[in-house]
């Protein structure tokens, strides 16, 4: 008996062939056919995220779906899946975050994420922003645009302390690269209960010692999941605990930072700078105060996005698909109690 796999966006032929190769019994269908052509083969990420099928096309295709391969964004959260997809047994998400998934849907239907797939690319983005601020590149680029020749004092990255709030797969990859540059690393994870040595970082820090991590760090990285406990974690008080020459980096979710407080801290010189790849509202509204905040580097949620994004996501999906067909436990199962 065949298993019907439905992808809600126009995937490249090579990606579809990789899915079909998992088992000859699979019936794999991708929606939004031809949408990729509208991008002319350019920018496979994030442009392809716009290639998701419209609601009507998804609704008509769900009736036979046993497995859904999709981003949990756009129209999907608004669809009545139990009614439209009575045979659905498993949803594989294209992304790591699962905070938007309605907990009521998780029961007979398993949800798994692509957690961990972008740890390497995101870590490269983080290290890149660290180097940019340490070497003064954002400011010197503005000087170049203004035809201003102004000497300044770069900082050395070696010897800096990098505090990682959220020592998951991304945090671990950042720690590995930061240590290779000669940095001291502090790592926070909610399962840590005391400050102690750790094999992946120089010191493990429990959430109760957030102020200690903020006091000690030259770079503070936010890479924790978006949960009720982490909402607005970095607020005005937390920003005041940071060093005045420290930089804040967020690659988690915009909800973890009080953006108004961050703008005020940057204007007041409370911290030296910030780099954000995520925002509380995306796309970032035209009237957001973040646009004009000093010493702020922003990218449009692309830290995970490389030309290998779908290759990486599909590798996780194919591994899980083989497990699913064999009746084995899936990896990256979403736990709504944890929020990811």
Which residues participate in catalysis according to the annotation? 253, 282, 301
CA distance 340 to 226: 8
Positive or negative, the CA dihedral 212, 214, 215, 218 is: positive
What's the CA dihedral at 62, 68, 69, 75 to 10 degrees? 50
CA distance 41 to 250: 30
CB-based contact 215:241 (threshold 8 Å): yes
CB-based contact 242:221 (threshold 8 Å): no
Cα atoms in the 13 Å half-sphere on the side-chain side of 279: 19
CB-based contact 74:49 (threshold 8 Å): no
CA distance 100 to 75: 12
Residue 220: φ, ψ to 5°: -115, 115
CA nearest neighbour of 192 among 177, 178, 173, 171: 171
**What does each C-alpha distance from 152 to 66, 129, 135 come to in angstroms?**
60, 18, 9
Q: Which residues contact 292 (CB under 8 A, 6 or more apart)?
A: none
Q: What are the structure tokens assigned to 203, written together?
A: 């010191």
**DSSP annotation of 328:** P
Cα atoms in the 13 Å half-sphere on the side-chain side of 207: 10
């Amino acid at each position: 008996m065949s298993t019907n796999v439905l992808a809600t966006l126009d995937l490249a032929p090579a990606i579809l062939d990789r899915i079909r190769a998992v088992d000859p019994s699979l019936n794999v269908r991708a929606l939004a056919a031809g949408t990729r052509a509208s991008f002319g083969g350019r920018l496979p990420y994030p442009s392809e995220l716009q290639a998701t099928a419209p609601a009507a096309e998804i609704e008509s295709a769900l009736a036979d779906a046993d497995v859904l391969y999709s981003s949990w964004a756009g129209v999907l959260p608004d669809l009545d899946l139990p009614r439209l997809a009575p045979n659905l047994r498993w949803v594989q998400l294209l992304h790591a975050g699962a905070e938007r998934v309605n907990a009521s849907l998780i029961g007979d239907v398993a949800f798994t994420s692509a957690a961990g797939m972008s740890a390497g690319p995101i870590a490269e983005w983080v290290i890149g922003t660290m180097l940019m601020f340490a070497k003064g590149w954002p400011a010197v680029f503005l000087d170049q645009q203004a035809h201003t020749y102004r000497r300044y004092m770069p900082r050395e990255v070696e010897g800096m302390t990098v505090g990682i709030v959220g020592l998951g797969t991304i945090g671990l990859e950042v720690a590995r690269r930061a240590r290779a540059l000669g940095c001291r690393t502090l790592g926070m994870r909610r399962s840590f209960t005391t400050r102690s040595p750790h094999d992946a970082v120089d010191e493990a820090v429990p959430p109760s010692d957030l102020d200690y991590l903020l006091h000690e760090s030259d770079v503070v990285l936010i890479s924790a999941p978006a949960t009720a406990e982490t909402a607005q974690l970095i607020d005005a008080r937390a920003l005041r605990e940071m060093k005045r020459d420290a930089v804040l980096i967020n690659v988690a979710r915009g909800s973890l930072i009080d953006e108004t407080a961050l703008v005020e801290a940057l204007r007041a010189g409370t911290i030296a700078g910030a780099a954000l790849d995520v925002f509380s509202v995306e796309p970032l509204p035209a009237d957001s105060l973040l646009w004009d905040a000093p010493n702020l580097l922003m990218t449009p949620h692309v830290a995970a996005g490389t030309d290998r994004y779908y290759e990486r996501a599909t590798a996780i999906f194919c591994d899980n698909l083989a497990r699913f067909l064999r009746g084995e436990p899936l990896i990256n199962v979403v736990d709504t109690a944890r929020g990811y």
